[in-house]
Amino acid sequence: DSGVTQTPKHLITATGQRVTLRCSPRSGDLSVYWYQQSLDQGLQFLIQYYNGEERAKGNILERFSAQQFPDLHSELNLSSLELGDSALYFCASSTRAGANEQFFGPGTRLTVL
Amino acid sequence: QKEVEQDPGPLSVPEGAIVSLNCTYSNSAFQYFMWYRQYSRKGPELLMYTYSSGNKEDGRFTAQVDKSSKYISLFIRDSQPSDSATYLCATDSNYQLIWGAGTKLIIKP
């Protein structure tokens, strides 16, 4: 158990809908990262927050947004969902702003029908 | 050219064998190197973390970095069926991890 929690574990929704994924980092970690992993694909970095502020952006679509709250939990919002958005979404956390030594949560499996 | 290259496999070896997993990278400025293990549909787990060149050992696992050839390796001794997973290498660049594609490893009993 990495100490990173993600909810929900599974999410099934329809095209055009909006969902919110939630992540709680390890105690004491200030950085949160979001990743997307499609079936049999590598990890795609989406976005990083450090202590409430956006620090780095990867291949995140405009339909996706995220934020980190004062209690350091983070939410990833996915809107106007398409079939291709079906994937595993992972959250990771680390103690510092630097990206090394990230600890991953169990992921949220999103299925868009 | 991808910044981190990794053969996706699968790599199938008998139980007890020594496994060698490898990645190459393109940017000589990369300093931190990591190996993660990912079981099917689970979150990646940090296995080894090294800085610059040299070896690091942890139990049956040894991580090796050769900066002169931009080559990183993970060796697994006395491989077990429970080691069957996808192994991802990664390096740190500008607050992001640059990931290899992952090598699927199968240990046959």
If you average pLDDT over residues A52-63, what whole number do you get? 92
If you average pLDDT over residues A79-89, what whole number do you get? 96
- Whether the CA torsion A68, A36, A26, A6 is positive or negative: it is positive
Residue that wins the pLDDT comparison between A108 and B40: A108
- pLDDT at position B52 is 80
How far off is chain B from A99, nearest CA to CA, in Å?
Answer: 5
Tell me how far apart the alpha carbons of residues A90 and B26 are, in angstroms, rounded to a whole number. 26
Q: How far apart are the first and last CA of chain A?
A: 31
If you average pLDDT over residues A78-91, what whole number do you get? 96
> Among A18, A3, A13, which residue's Cα sits nearest to residue A65?
A18
Q: Number of residue pairs across A and B with CB atoms under 8 Å?
A: 56
- Given a cut of 70, the residues of chain B with pLDDT beneath it are 1
- pLDDT at position B108 is 96
- pLDDT at position A99 is 63
Which has the minimum average pLDDT: A48-52, A95-99, B65-69, B84-88?
A95-99
> Which residue type sits at A23?
C
Per the CB < 8 Å rule, is B92 touching A104? Answer: no
Query: Which residues of chain B lie closer than 8 angstroms to A98, CB-CB?
Result: 92, 95
Q: Nearest residue on chain B to A91, judged by CA atoms? A: B43
- pLDDT at position A59 is 84
**pLDDT greater than 80 at residue A61:** yes
- pLDDT at position A95 is 85
Give which of A24, A100, A104, A108 to mutate to test B binding, by max B Cβ within 10 Å: A100
